[in-house]
Amino acid sequence: TRFTNNYGPFQFPEKFIPLMICQALAGESLPVYGDGKNVRDWIHVADHCRALDLVLRKGREGEIYNIGGGCEMENIAVARRILRALGRPESLLKFVTDRPAHDRRYALDCAKLKRELAWEPQWNFDRGLAETVRWYQENGEWLEETRSGEYQTYFERHYGRREETFATALRPA
């Protein structure tokens, strides 16, 4: 399978949505690449898991199935929704230098999955984002574990410190 951007509970904070949530919860700036108009298709992790299960059980051997949520949105729009959900000001948005060769749009045509296996996402983005924001608000202890120790070492080894603002989300409290 190929899939688009996942979001939901337990996602580590180096990924866009949890990073934005963690930064906003801490009252820190939200680093948005470039002009923020990079488009991503978002799929809730529960829908992704359902699609994988369906492909494993009913997909044709050797076939490739694209899995996506059918929810294309600019990164800046997602960041603004997170700020609104948390009652934080848009002044926390901070535009940072985009990575070289960063995808301007990342989405897939999932028509084959829908046509052949009758799959449709069950989570709409607004409901999924609200649930995700709530999960991070209620699971500070888990989040603190991701900000220190072994995971911090892993993050720095694989991602380095591209932008100082990214380090804020992963810094021990």
Domains of the chain: 2-138 (3.90.25.10)
What predicted TM-score, i.e. pTM, was given to this entire model?
A: 0.84
Going by pLDDT thresholds of 50, 70 and 90, the confidence category of residue 128 is very high
The answer to whether residues 40 and 72 touch, using CB atoms and an 8 Å cutoff, is yes
Going by pLDDT thresholds of 50, 70 and 90, the confidence category of residue 165 is very low
Distance CA 71, CA 48 (A): 13
22 pLDDT exceeds 90? yes
Predicted pLDDT at 142? 87
Going by pLDDT thresholds of 50, 70 and 90, the confidence category of residue 143 is confident
Distance CA 100, CA 22 (A): 25
